[in-house]
Structure 1
């Protein structure tokens, strides 16, 4: 199985362009926002757009739910597609998706800015931020089964090459999910620092957190900690365990992708 990735910031039109990218590269299977899609039809999964909050939507999109991941993983094994296109806000997010589904990491990464103009991406962001409009690359009749009561609009999609007539290659759907209608969720650096401090103090061998620096990025975060460790412990193991514990808990509690957890042991508690 060969995996391609389409990456770009949230709301820049990845789902809108996924069908064309797949068509151009001979790909019939797409993983987008928690769904496994083949030839425009949903095979497995649950759309992140159904979630009530943005935090829950991110967790759904990166398959943190084990039952959800297993369902999609099993269907992928059955279908065994030659090529798969995975959508994500970054290469790191795509890697988290491929690891959760136990498929190869991408051999080719396509950036949204390489296939869309600045104006097109700006328009897509305005539609997302001001009108709560999200695109799902499956036909409206399929979407309505999963989104009863939602406002759903069809979006037919065509592809054309030079000196060739336009050809319909599928249909997409525009929806306005609950978390868009409710407003925005913002998790501040201060909250991430508080969670990190609480979590790392639960790690065996860590007695004090001296300093936490948080760097927020698109859909994710990097944290740097200075800690005091208990004397007599094997310091590399203490640091590795703390890294893993912080990453897992931050991702589960906030839905953010943790790009890095950097730990500096500044002193020993004797």
Structure 2
């Protein structure tokens, strides 16, 4: 495996340019702030941006935790990569990451100044200093699932499609987050809001008269369990309607909040004959 390194001071826009650079050098995966990212997926790792303090963020980025390092080694071994891009604030940091993960030393060091202009670096530093915005080179929904209850904003990055027609461009989505250690990045989603989303999703299913009582439990890892007791119109296939309710609630909650739905438990509590009465009088 060949290891390439992108180095530059914190806040200079390394993560923002990581996907584009990886595309240019044909690197199949990226290690950035404790995460292993390939394409549109976060494959392994615990992000430094998710840590409660700056010290713990540094330890996470350097894979100082033995268990974290072993998990990353296993994931890298399963991928069988030809090239890997590792991001760091210095050559020393990248070499330390390589040592912790049993990787070869970088065959090429790319400085942030080689891929970003002075103006772009200044802008990146401004966003970091004034708004505490950090970029993760992965799609918004993927980051939300890994970062439950974290503020995440989408960012589209345009790049010229390799081997494509002249002038054509492709784009990849990245995510901007506010880390926990900035003290203003956590977002709490009230259970009442989750219940409202689940209720709306349930009643949007054909054959559901009302959502009934809804219970929501959010575990520490951001996993959500939803209990719903709908009233369904008489004469319908109850198992089929219940399955549609489960799917609709899961999709709506995950798409709107980024939390991961562990289970949706549907217990039909009543049948409605309203449609029969309406047909009889019409």
Interval of TM-score (by shorter of Structure 1 and Structure 2) = 0.5 to 0.7
Instruction: Deviation per CA, 1:5-48: give whole Å up to 9, x if none.
Output: 00000000000000111011111200000001111311111111
Contact 1:158 1:166 in 2 (8 A): no
Superposed CA RMSD in Å reads 1.7
How many Å separate the matches in 2 of 1:40 and 1:109? 25
The CA distance in 2 between the partners of 1:163 and 1:111, in whole Å, is: 29
SS in 2 for 1:23: helix
In 2: Cα distance, 1:163 partner to 1:144 partner: 34
Tell me, in whole angstroms, the C-alpha distance in 2 between the residues paired with 1:87 and 1:164. Answer: 30
Q: Please name the residue that 1:139 is paired with.
A: 139
For 1:112, the equivalent position in structure 2 comes to: 112
- Structure 1 segments unaligned to the other structure (5+ residues): 184-270
Q: What secondary structure, in the 3-state scheme, does the structure 1 residue paired with 2:138 have?
A: coil
Q: Distance in 2 between matches of 1:3 and 1:169?
A: 25
Number of corresponding residues: 183
In the TM superposition, residue 169 of structure 1 has moved relative to its aligned partner by: 4.2
* C-alpha deviation, 1:147, in angstroms: 1.4
Q: Compute the displacement of 1:95 (Å).
A: 0.3
SS in 1 for 2:183: helix
- Partner SS state of residue 5, structure 2: strand
Give the aligned partner of residue 263 of structure 2: none
In structure 1, the residue corresponding to 2:126 is in which secondary structure?
helix
In structure 2, C-alpha distance between the alignment counterparts of 1:92 and 1:144, rounded to whole Å: 31
SS in 2 for 1:157: strand
CA offsets, 1:137-175, max 9 Å, x none? 011111111211111011122112797234224211000
Which protein has greater RCO, CA pairs closer than 8 Å, 6+ apart? 1
User: Equivalents in 2 of 1:36, 1:86: separation in Å?
Assistant: 9
Report what 2:122 is aligned to.
Answer: 122
After superposition, where does 1:23-172 map in structure 2 within 5 Å?
Answer: 23-160=23-160, 164-172=166-174
Which runs of 5 or more residues in structure 2 are unaligned?
186-282
- The 4+ residue runs of structure 1 with deviation greater than 3 A are none
CA distance in 2, matches of 1:92, 1:40: 28
